[in-house]
Structure 1
């Protein structure tokens, strides 16, 4: 707003407030109501003037800033406007100091088997993040948001489901229904696959099948159960129940093929996710006894030590690993613990600590130690 407009608002405010004060000072009690009516009208240009004089950052959101200025001008006829204008002048004269936190970084979290993906917190790191942000933005045109929601339908459910769930509370009914229909189709298709796999497993059990055939059927049921969690279709208590069911069917498959590395790895991941440390330790020992590559189970052994707060063991477990041997999202973890080890290289060397918890027998009592 230019100076001419500000001057016009100031002149109008002064004239209206002067007229209102004249009614108040007339001595006629019947003019008291007329004063408040005139003052309420005069508060409109006062609020506009107050808002325009505020710094740009304080003018948003526009409706709330204008409502606050009008309330102050109405309740405090002179002090409200004077106080806001004084605060605006101080805000312009002494801008707030922004504390720089660029030197701070979040340490990488040691979680090998991540079951959730918060794309809302990383909108620019994933290709789906920009589409998700467009779909959630109510300020965009409806047609553009609908195209964004339809684009989420073509993406992996694990990436798209968190955004679609947030859209179930969208104020636009069409957006809500579209998001719900997409999630329902995915859930219905996955449920149909799970029911078919369970029927196949029950048929094999009725026939008395054993060995690899029965193990593959039970493993398929466990994987489909876990897919509900992996895609974000199971939440809360249902998520825990689904993971328990997946672990139960994984146990059935392990009874048929006790030395299958893929089943041992699945049970290990589920045990860590559910906090069953003893079962996870058992799976690690059984994996060590097979011909499974140590690069498969060492990150999970480190996660077990991390969950049990045995931080020295984390370094010992990750020591033989190099960054090129692990997944990209685990490379920062290996680098952090390797750097920690190099920083303390001059200290007195200690014997490698076992992966077992303090209250349980150490792993080196097994035929071969994990570390």
Structure 2
């Protein structure tokens, strides 16, 4: 079936041909009948194409709304075309101008560092500000680096990379060492899994495919790789997820991981398909809905975000997820 815009183009071409035929100096007695035939076909195509482009609310009742569009095109040549196309534009833009949106733009919340107990080291100082400040004592900054070393790299990767060009050699080398140590810990596990894969049995291979997909994804999730290396890690993670799913297509965890990889690559349609596969395989809403909500947030579908987060039960183990669900229920 042709797309609506192609039908409109065909209609315009036929209508132009009909006008040329009507304005010709031919003495054919059937000239008017030929014109009306071409004009009728053009009106039919124009009505079908324009009707398909109308908002859903303008296409009810279905038969009579199409008949009205056809009559306008057939009985009002030229001006009917302008009226129909104008109606399409009005149908889309006029309701949007008067639609009341339930959402408002709010400013980003300010970060308030948690005060540390007396003698705990940094008291109320912001750790990131401390590490990036060249005015702070080097000894205190080194203590901050030791604290960062024990924190997840997903939360500290950005500040560690910012200190790689620090003027103090100890700070710069320590930041490089922390990042390199955590990256090598994962790459060693990848190398070990690759060696085991060569001599593994069929059942063992499936578990290794899963393991490799999770390890490559961990490099990205922990914010340990950047640029082309990050893209390579995403590609390898997707490859091993795909291989694992070809061995066992009912693995909901792998479908969820595939969706997160696609989301990180900006492949929103494939990510949604993967997340929906998780739902069909029975994964609970608390595991799938947050990612579907993030996907809807990327698309600006705020009503769908509220619906998805509202479907999450209050007794989930993650406190942050409970807080997000309660926020969207009130939104």
Q: TM-score w.r.t. structure 2 length?
A: 0.58
Q: Secondary structure at 1:315's aligned position in 2?
A: helix
Residue equivalent to 1:177: 173
Distance 2:294 2:313 in 1: 17
Pick closer, same or farther for the CA change 1:164–1:123 going to 2, 3 Å: farther
Distance 2:269 2:290 in 1: 17
Residue equivalent to 2:195: 199
Residue equivalent to 2:226: 235
Worse-matched range after superposition: 185-194 or 306-315: 306-315
Contact 1:167 1:175 in 2 (8 A): yes
Pick closer, same or farther for the CA change 1:273–1:141 going to 2, 3 Å: same
- Compare CA radii of gyration and give the structure with the larger one: 1
Contact 1:305 1:314 in 2 (8 A): yes
Pick closer, same or farther for the CA change 1:185–1:107 going to 2, 3 Å: closer
**Pairwise CA distance, 1:170:** 0.9
Residue equivalent to 1:210: 202
Correspondent of 1:189 among 185, 194, 207:
185
The size of the alignment, in residue pairs, is: 220
Contact 1:123 1:133 in 2 (8 A): no
Per-residue displacement from partner, 1:284-316 (whole Å, max 9, x unpaired)?
332222232232212222222333333333333
Unpaired segments of 5 or more residues in structure 2? 1-104, 117-121
Contact 2:163 2:175 in 1 (8 A): yes
1:256 aligns with 2:247: yes
Contact 2:310 2:326 in 1 (8 A): no
Q: Secondary structure at 1:171's aligned position in 2?
A: coil
Pick closer, same or farther for the CA change 1:310–1:146 going to 2, 3 Å: closer
Q: Secondary structure at 2:283's aligned position in 1?
A: coil
Q: Secondary structure at 2:202's aligned position in 1?
A: coil
Residue equivalent to 1:295: 286
Pick closer, same or farther for the CA change 1:156–1:310 going to 2, 3 Å: closer
Unpaired segments of 5 or more residues in structure 1? 1-103, 109-120, 341-371
Pick closer, same or farther for the CA change 1:255–1:132 going to 2, 3 Å: same
Contact 1:214 1:256 in 2 (8 A): no
Residue equivalent to 2:158: 162
Distance 1:163 1:221 in 2: 28
Contact 2:210 2:244 in 1 (8 A): yes
Per-residue displacement from partner, 1:219-278 (whole Å, max 9, x unpaired)?
111111112112221112322221121111111111111111211111121122222223
Q: Which structure 1 residue ranges, 4+ long, deviate > 6 Å from structure 2?
A: 126-129
Which structure has greater helix proportion?
2
Distance 2:329 2:180 in 1: 45
Matches within 5 A, 1:47-66: none
Residue equivalent to 1:145: 141
Per-residue displacement from partner, 1:62-111 (whole Å, max 9, x unpaired)?
xxxxxxxxxxxxxxxxxxxxxxxxxxxxxxxxxxxxxxxxxx94479xxx
Contact 1:190 1:224 in 2 (8 A): yes
What RMSD over aligned residues (CA atoms) do the two structures have, in Å? 2.9
Pick closer, same or farther for the CA change 1:315–1:189 going to 2, 3 Å: closer
Correspondent of 2:258 among 267, 271, 277:
267
1:278 aligns with 2:269: yes
Q: TM-score w.r.t. structure 1 length?
A: 0.52
Residue equivalent to 1:124: 113
Distance 1:252 1:279 in 2: 16
**Pairwise CA distance, 1:322:** 4.1
Worse-matched range after superposition: 174-183 or 316-325: 316-325
Distance 1:284 1:264 in 2: 7
